[in-house]
Amino acid sequence: MNPYEKLLIQNKAWSADQKLADANFFGRLEKQQSPKFLWIGCSDSRVPANQITGTDPGEIFVHRNIANMVVHTDVNLLSVLEYAVVVLKVEHIIVCGHYGCGGIDAALGNKSYGIINKWLLNIKEVYKTYQNEIDAIEVHEDKVNKLVELNVIEQCQDLIKTSTIQKAWKSRNAPTIHGWAYGLKDGLVKELVNIEPDLSSINPIFRFDAEELDK
């Protein structure tokens, strides 16, 4: 059997298993999704949101890109964020990076990757912010992993700079933002940061006027 055919056969088996375990599973999900979580993760195939959190379809709204970036010109990310926060009213946003991230590693190097260079620029900017701290680390793998952590923290901060988050914080005191780093070696998550809704905690230069947030 070729690998592609295998996917379709496994799909039939999965569907049958789900129905066997819960006859109403698809009927329930077909009607609506009401996930409590938005996941912003890396596209890396080894970091699937549902599997590593032991959750089912319907529980996590997902956006993934190279190195789990929150880029303010990325219409895809911004649309997913708006839908998750305003329509689905998620309670939590998880930005999940992972140790040994190839995107972070590439951003720390000087090879050219065609169009991907433009994406990596966003990560290089994060490196520049923490350059002294990262340069002080000797082992390359450790540099990558430090930037993985700092990048997650920085992306969480970038979320807070959006009017989408600031409006939701004002109107419904949610969502909470969490920064995670996932270990490919042991499958475990390290919590890096938890940011509770608090407009006064935002650096004033990034804070919209209160009346703007009611519009």
Active site residue 42: yes
Using the minimum distance from each CB to Co ion, give the nearer residue, 42 or 81. 42
> What is the C-alpha to C-alpha distance for residues 148 and 102, in angstroms, rounded to an integer?
10
Please say if 44 is a catalytic residue: yes
The string of DSSP letters for 3-28 reads HHHHHHHHHHHHHHHHHHH-TTHHHH
SS3 194: strand
Residues 6 or more apart whose CB falls under 8 angstroms from that of 62 comprise 38, 39, 41, 49
Of the listed 101, 105, 156, 158, which one is catalytic? 101
- As measured in angstroms, the least distance from the Cβ of 27 to Co ion is 36
Catalytic status, residue 101: yes
CB of 43 to Co ion, least distance (A): 7
The 31-50 contact track toward Co ion, x by CB under 5 A, reads -----------x-x------
- Name the one residue in this structure whose structure tokens are 């839908």: 83
Whether the CB-CB separation of 33 and 50 falls below 8 Å is answered with no
Catalytic residue among 44, 96, 158, 178: 44
How many CA within 13 A on the CB side of residue 150?
Answer: 20
Does residue 175 have a cis bond before it (omega within 30 degrees)? yes
98 is catalytic: yes
Instruction: Kindly determine how many residues on this chain lie close enough to bind Co ion according to the rule CB under 5 A.
Output: 4
Establish whether 186 is a catalytic residue.
no
Examine residue 165 and tell whether it contacts Co ion (CB under 5 A).
no
CA dist 9 and 11 (Å) reads: 5
In the complex, what is the shortest distance from the CB of residue 103 to Co ion, in angstroms, rounded to a whole number?
5
Question: Stretches 95-103, 153-161, 163-171, 206-214: which one binds Co ion (CB under 5 A)?
Answer: 95-103
Q: Which of 77, 80, 90, 101 binds Co ion (CB under 5 A)?
A: 101
Which residues participate in catalysis according to the annotation? Answer: 42, 44, 46, 98, 101
Footprint on this chain of Co ion (rule: CB under 5 A): 42, 44, 101, 103
